[in-house]
Amino acid sequence: LNSAAIVRRAVFGDAGVAAGARPGTLIIDMSSIDPDATRQLAADASDKGLRWVDSPLSGGAPKALIGELTLMAGGEAQDVADAHAVLRDVASNYTHMGPAGAGQTTKLINQVLCALNFMAVAEATRLALDAGVDVLKIPQALKGGRADSAILQEYLPRFATRDYRRTGRIDNMVKDLNAAQDLARRTHTAMPLTAVCAEVHRLLTAAGLGGEDQAALMEFFQRKEDGK
C-alpha cells in the first residue's frame, strides 16, 4: 500500500482488518511509509489488542520472483519472530531492526542508497556511451570490484539499451525520497546528494515519466542525437 493513510483505512476503516480481527492478531505491514506514521499505527493497533510489525522489503521484482527478498522489520521481538515464520518463504534476508517504525526507517535508508546508485549508474552509462567504450562490457569488467552492485549489473545494460520494462516507478521513488528528506530535516541531517537526486526524480515525474521504471532515469542524460 502506497501511503500511511491507505494503510490506516485498510486496517482501521469501517470494513478494515481490525473490525474483524481477534485479540492478539498479528498485522504485518510490508508497505513503505513514514516511520512516525507507522509508530502511530502500531500504537493504535496495540490499543485494540492487536500486534503490529512493519516489514518493508527490498530486492525488486527479480528477487520477489525467486523468493529472495530482503526484509527489514520493526516491532516487538516475539512479534517479529512470528512474522518471520510467515515471511521466510519470500525472503532470504530478514533482520529485526528495533521497535515499531525501525523497519520503515531502514527502508528509507535503503531507498536513499538505491536512488543514488541508480543515478550514478545512469550518469556513468552516459559517460561510457559518449567516450565510445563498449558499454555492455562494463558490468563484466567491474564485477567483483568496489564499484560493482546489483543495480549496476541489472540496470547498466538497461540504461544503455533504453530498456524501460517496468519493475518499479519513478514517482514511488519520489515518495520515498521525500520521506527521507523529511526525516533528515527532523534529525538535522545534511543530505546534499539526496536533494539533487530527489530533484531529478521530480523533474522526470513532472515531464510525465513518473509511472516509468527507474531505467527511464536515462532520459535525464539523453542527447538529441540519441533520437528517441
Q: What residues are labeled active site?
A: 107
Q: How far is CA 113 from CA 81, 82, 108, 129, 177, in A?
A: 27, 29, 9, 24, 10
| Residue carrying C-alpha cell 502506497 | 2
* C-alpha 186, offset from chain centre: 20
Rg of the chain over Cα atoms, rounded to whole angstroms, equals 20
Integer Cα distance of 76 and 95 in angstroms: 13
| 35-70 core/surface letters (b: 16 or more CB in 10 A; e: else) | bbbbbebbeebeeeebbbbbbbbbbbeebeeeeebb
Which positions ≥6 away from 162 have C-beta within 8 Å?
215, 218, 228
Integer Cα distance of 193 and 211 in angstroms: 23
